[in-house]
Structure 1
Amino acid sequence: MIQYAQRFSEEESLEALNPKIRKWFKEHFKELTPPQYYSFKLIRLGKNVLITAPTGSGKTFSAFMAILSELMDLADSGRLEEKVYCIYVSPLRALNNDIYRNLSKPLEEIYSEFNADKRITIGIRTGDTEQKERQMQLKHPPNILVTTPESLAILLNASKFSESLKDLKYIVIDELHELANNKRGVHLSLSVERLAELCGHDFVRIGLGATLYPLEEAARFLVGYNNGEERECYIVDATWDKKMEFTTICPVKDIINTSDEKIESAIYKILDSIIKKNNTTLVFTNTRSGTERVVFNLMKRFKYSEQELAAHHGSLSREIRLGVEEMLKKGSLKCVVSSTSLELGIDIGYIDNVVQLGSPKSITRAIQRIGRSGHKFYDVAKGEIIVVNRDDLVECSVMLYSANKKLLDKFSTPMNALDVLAQHIVGMSLTKKWKVDDAYKLVRNAYPYHNLQKSDFIALLEYLSGSYVGLESRRVYGKIWYDEKEGAFGRRGRYTKIIYYLNLGTIPDEVAIDVYEGKRWIGNIEEEFLARLKPNDIFVLGGRLYRFEYARGM
């Protein structure tokens, strides 16, 4: 049953916390934020909760204060064991690092004050995790595991480590709005149901998001079904509790009859004036190439230095991106231009103003981006959308109207995606022999597959087992065995495991060419762009100019 949560009093909310956690919280925060009035008690009572609230509203602590309280209770009574009690899943690795820091700090301060012997442990498990750390986690599993959707799917097939997941109590899924409307989220929903089957019991499911509509469907996506019945979930809706002020700016009086050159010049003059009147401005474009172009033009036209202006996008090296994020936190940058990489909840400190250059193509995205300003909950989020042409002007005016009416884009989850299901069936076959009915029941517990027809499920098993005539002539071989009479399936062939790991996930592969300055990796460019470069050509990456010398191995 999906229902909206009732607000508890401050006393009731704080009473739900472990005394040590409560003392730390009261020393660091003057009051609870709106979502915390609902979540502390509900999570402590073991209820599934969907929390939707803007950036800076304390969503992380809304979820974790109750979780840390339970673990602290176990530690205080000497019952905290070396196993995973909570899994935190985020679509961004950078968010995982933030969560690790944000949870480690209060724990260290509490340990320092109370001289605690038994400590709550936190570990990160992503594609960046070194082998040494993975071996350490196998010997000493962390109490809180911070990971990504893809790494979670891998762990479900890691026979030794998966043993430490069997007593799981909580799973926290962050940035739910980034997952609920694509196949990456579909993939995760199946992983969560497989995790529940592995545990042999259900666990508390907590979803965190900023801009979700409709909330009831988002809650169903989070908790799924149990034998055809909706699981219980409480919705905490604080989406519009933060004040926002944003406007649409047309750079010229007559955008239809003004030349592109004059419009472009006017846009950069407006950008420059906004940057100069604020301490820190975050500018969003819609593409990585657009980000590079804006940074280059601002530096060229207004003489900004690299210490004042920076680019941030996924094609830059991790070292450069972390450097930019650190400078933002310190407040040493006047402006950062980003494509989408700073759109989600990475901690980047205080932003005075957000500028969206061109239409963000979605009301939800506009609110998400502008919500990055005024990072504290009671700060006003301020932003401008600068239109670049006539169509933009119409589109952004409608967006502004819709946002003021508190209307959001409806998310749409891909339903019954057989390509994603095929991955999980192969993954499941690697763990044990499955009864078809048991596997079908598990799959239908996931929201994106709750109305999957059994005939489609059987057809997929037949395909994966190579039953169709002519598949082998096309070099498509069976990955599983399927026995219709026995009503069972399992692993087939020694290479199935390798094939599974090499093809896991739904993030499309990109052909990216690494760029080096001497021996230092600075980022990558597209293969198509490289094909146009000739020796001594000048190109821009991360807002800096580089001279192309040669390409190796092409």
Structure 2
Amino acid sequence: MTLPPRFQDWFARQGWQPHPHQLALLEAQGDTLLIAPTGGGKTLAGFLPSLVDLAGGAHRGMHTLYVSPLKALTADIARNLARPVADLGLAIRIEDRTGDTRPAQRARQRVDPPDILLTTPESLALMLSYPEAPAIFGGLRRVVLDELHALTENKRGDQLMLGLARLRSLAPGLQVTGLSATVEDPQALAGFMGGARVLEADPGPAPDIAMLPTASPAPWAGGGGHHAIPEVLEQVRQANTTIIFINTRAQAELFFQALWAANDENLPIGLHHGSLAREARQRVEAAMAAGQLRAVVATGSLDLGIDWGAVDLVIQVGAPKNVKRLVQRIGRANHRYNAPSRARIVPANRFEVIECVAALEAVAERDLDGDPRGPGPLDVLCQHILLTACAGPFEADVLYAEVITAGPYRALSRADFDACLDFAATGGYALRAYDRWQRLMLRDGLWRLRDPRAARDLRMNIGTIVEAEMLKVRFRGRGGAPLGEVEEAFAASLEPGDTFLIGGQTVRYEGLREMVVEVTKQPTRKPKIAVFSGVKLATSTQLSHRVQALIGDPSRHHALPGNTRDWLALQAEVSALPRPGVLQSESFRHDGMWHFALYGFAGRNALQTLGLLMTRMMEEAGLGPLGFLSTDYALLIWSLDPVTDPAPLLDRAGLRAGLGDWLGSNAVMKRTFRTVATIAGLIQRNLPGLRKTGRQATFSSDILYDTLRKYDPDHLMLRITTDEARRGLVDFDRIEEMLDRSPRLDHRMLDRVSPLAAPLLLEVGRVPIAGQGRERLAEAEAAALMAEAGLA
């Protein structure tokens, strides 16, 4: 296929030349993964073969299916495709199919599909579950998978690849194109697609990216970045349009408020994140597209490729946590192939200064991060089997052969497939006596729905995203005063007697009753577990390693600001600098207690788990642990007696045994089980006429979990739950990786607070104080601590 003259003329009328990768993709045979920088015309490249083919006018039915991770992207693509289609006079019908599409249009698409359909993984799974799927997709020629890297980061990607395997069966000869801008391992991503040729475009000019100088230095602790408000506002004044990325929704709200308070000129500035109402998001998107906003404060909701050409600056507030995410966000500025993206980074605290420098070095070296993907999750496969039955009877051998063509499931054993099929059919050994889980039956060699009416319920529960529930915190007793809310993930990690901060008060966890966290006042005790509404994104393993290597090599400290260099120089003098290959720790007295600091660089989840396990071991050793705190880089434990030799507390066998005991008795596993069981179809979130609340779902899952542990401990759902908890929620694999890469322990007994540990102590003491004196008190506390550490 070559570019016809009418298309060449269209490019010329726009003043464009087709990029080499666009022409190469037009001529490509078979499946292709195109990697091109933001603004490089990836989307047009993906659709160009379809437009050229459809211009011939011979095709009937759906020709091209476009799948993206975001509903907002489908709307953006529809707008951008409308222009060349109208200019070229092509009789092509383009429609979207997402959760926002009107029911009447969805129904019509099942009998009269458009030429090009724009959709999401969940909507594709739904369409494939209908008996009309062979008619809808039988004539499909092409599939375009946009922002593919974003879909590999969670189970939505696995769901999509199973759907793609089904499409290949329905439409033999289907040609698939994957599009991505930020890929650390192109061959692995091509393998995820099921095997594809990799086509890499010219990466374009290097980005113009640097830290934003600020009059006030970053604070020693915290994550808001508010010290940089004047400089951020000045950057907004100087640019046409700016996107200000913040890592969490709560921080985005707070930063937006602070920015407006300082916005004396009333510059039009918007807010965009996933918790806002759809109408509010759409208003901001439309205003940005029309050039009516000077800036928008956003979270990951704008990470992906919405094309706003007027954006000429990106500001990242807070450490990016992930080089790939930073590169993706940088690409939102100057969405043009030949113009360098311009971005500035604002570290939120002193430790983030080091992370930002490390991230800038990685961007300059084009060294992206990313962890290898595990095998395709079995709970997603269970859902896929049930949805396949909704579309019609199937033969097990044929479905297994189809599933293993999906990249993530290429190594799936027949035994695991059969276990998933048995679960889908009966619920498994302990549940097969209950009618509600008897969903499939075998007749004449074909598996089919036992009750066709079940298809409606199964379709209502499609998807792999299980929202985190927020639990109310109240003082124990009738009519106890409400204190606020905590994420269920945090509540699940608590045991009776644990103390934590909420609403400026230290409280003691007593138990969970009717999905309410009941607490009692503990005003005289320091919190055992410090709770923050700060950054929840874990720093990638590769970026953590870079930060450790930068800290541990004084010859590279010239890249750091002067006050950071002085901080690290004093740390080397008082104690030691953490460095690769060494697990650095130290003990010192402060505020009448012993403190143990471990610089693990393993991520907050892993170090939170390590804190729970080590404090249990310290309790058994009689050291009197009182509490702990974890950040992405360090663990701080305070106790009555000192840790003089951490080696026994870091014994791998002891940690593994402690993990097993803790998980077995803790609500963490029940929370993970609920997610797994919901995706697999054991628990239904949505029922006809109502949506099951988090409380109802949790009660159901708790009963099921306890039943299976007692009567069927080898049940498939429990096996999946154990694997998920170990890899995800508690991140124990990262603890083992930390021990592997740092085989040597270096422990220092100090006579005072170390410079690196001082900011951690500020985190421990961060109790919200009402009134205008809050910042002054925090500054006074910081000054006193830094003086104690020798940093005054």
TM-score class, shorter-chain normalisation, is 0.7 to 0.9
Of residues 178, 203, 206, the one that matches 1:243 is 206
Gaps of 5+ in 2: 472-483, 488-501, 504-692, 696-792
Cα deviation for residue 405 of structure 1 reads 0.9
C-alpha deviations, 1:383-422, integer Å up to 9, x for none? 0111011221122211111111110113533413110000
**Is 2:115 aligned against 1:167?**
no
SS at 2:319 equivalent: coil
C-alpha deviations, 1:179-208, integer Å up to 9, x for none? 022210000000011111122x13110001
Contact kept, 8 Å, 2:35 with 2:183, in 1: the verdict is: yes
Contact kept, 8 Å, 1:86 with 1:170, in 2: the verdict is: yes
Contact kept, 8 Å, 2:225 with 2:347, in 1: the verdict is: no
Cα deviation for residue 304 of structure 1 reads 5.1
> 2: distance between equivalents of 1:130 and 1:102?
21
Task: Give the letter aligned to residue 188 of structure 2.
Answer: E
Cα deviation for residue 283 of structure 1 reads 0.3
Contact kept, 8 Å, 2:64 with 2:117, in 1: the verdict is: yes
Go from structure 1 to structure 2 and tell me whether the alpha carbon gap of 1:480 and 1:265 turns closer, same or farther (over 3 Å shift).
closer
Equivalent residue number for residue 281 of structure 1: 242
SS at 2:302 equivalent: coil
Contact kept, 8 Å, 1:39 with 1:63, in 2: the verdict is: yes
Task: Give the letter aligned to residue 80 of structure 1.
Answer: H
Structure with the larger RCO, 1 or 2 (CA within 8 Å, 6+ apart): 1
Task: Give the letter aligned to residue 64 of structure 1.
Answer: F
Equivalent residue number for residue 129 of structure 2: 157
C-alpha deviations, 1:300-321, integer Å up to 9, x for none? 123353x611101112222222
> 2: distance between equivalents of 1:260 and 1:447?
41
**Is 2:13 aligned against 1:27?**
yes
What is the TM-score of this pair, normalised by structure 2? Answer: 0.57
Go from structure 1 to structure 2 and tell me whether the alpha carbon gap of 1:132 and 1:463 turns closer, same or farther (over 3 Å shift).
closer
Go from structure 1 to structure 2 and tell me whether the alpha carbon gap of 1:438 and 1:350 turns closer, same or farther (over 3 Å shift).
same
**Is 2:160 aligned against 1:188?**
yes
Equivalent residue number for residue 412 of structure 1: 372
> 2: distance between equivalents of 1:397 and 1:87?
41
C-alpha deviations, 1:262-297, integer Å up to 9, x for none? x95531122122112212111000111111111100
**Is 2:355 aligned against 1:377?**
no
Of residues 186, 193, 203, the one that matches 1:215 is 186
SS at 1:91 equivalent: coil
Contact kept, 8 Å, 1:21 with 1:65, in 2: the verdict is: no
Cα deviation for residue 135 of structure 1 reads 3.5
> 2: distance between equivalents of 1:60 and 1:140?
25
Of residues 6, 21, 36, the one that matches 1:53 is 36
Of residues 36, 51, 70, the one that matches 1:92 is 70
Of residues 438, 458, 467, the one that matches 1:509 is 467
> 1: distance between equivalents of 2:427 and 2:221?
62
**Is 2:102 aligned against 1:130?**
yes
Percent sequence identity is: 32
**Is 2:279 aligned against 1:301?**
no
> 2: distance between equivalents of 1:469 and 1:372?
51
Equivalent residue number for residue 80 of structure 1: 59
Task: Give the letter aligned to residue 496 of structure 1.
Answer: A
Equivalent residue number for residue 392 of structure 1: 352
C-alpha deviations, 1:24-76, integer Å up to 9, x for none? 1222142223532422222xxx3311111122111111111121101112x1x
Task: Give the letter aligned to residue 59 of structure 2.
Answer: L
Within 5 Å, which residues of 2 pair with 1:281-360?
281-303=242-264, 305=266, 308-360=268-320
Within 5 Å, which residues of 2 pair with 1:355-370?
355-370=315-330
> 2: distance between equivalents of 1:269 and 1:187?
45
Rg bigger for which structure? 2
> 2: distance between equivalents of 1:239 and 1:502?
44
Contact kept, 8 Å, 2:218 with 2:347, in 1: the verdict is: no
Equivalent residue number for residue 104 of structure 1: 82
Of residues 455, 458, 463, the one that matches 1:497 is 455
Within 5 Å, which residues of 2 pair with 1:417-428?
417-428=377-388
C-alpha deviations, 1:233-272, integer Å up to 9, x for none? 221213732430111246467657x6869x9553112212
Number of residue-to-residue matches in the alignment: 479
Go from structure 1 to structure 2 and tell me whether the alpha carbon gap of 1:423 and 1:358 turns closer, same or farther (over 3 Å shift).
same
Cα deviation for residue 487 of structure 1 reads 6.1
What is the TM-score of this pair, normalised by structure 1? Answer: 0.80
Gaps of 5+ in 1: 1-14, 225-230, 514-525, 533-552
> 2: distance between equivalents of 1:87 and 1:389?
45
Contact kept, 8 Å, 2:441 with 2:450, in 1: the verdict is: yes
> 1: distance between equivalents of 2:373 and 2:389?
26
C-alpha deviations, 1:446-494, integer Å up to 9, x for none? 01110011111112222222274321567861222258xx765322224
SS at 1:509 equivalent: coil
Equivalent residue number for residue 173 of structure 2: 202
Task: Give the letter aligned to residue 24 of structure 2.
Answer: Y
SS at 2:380 equivalent: helix
Cα deviation for residue 323 of structure 1 reads 1.9
Go from structure 1 to structure 2 and tell me whether the alpha carbon gap of 1:437 and 1:140 turns closer, same or farther (over 3 Å shift).
closer
> 1: distance between equivalents of 2:265 and 2:278?
23
Contact kept, 8 Å, 1:328 with 1:349, in 2: the verdict is: no
Cα deviation for residue 433 of structure 1 reads 2.6
> 1: distance between equivalents of 2:222 and 2:418?
57
> 2: distance between equivalents of 1:324 and 1:89?
23
SS at 1:445 equivalent: coil
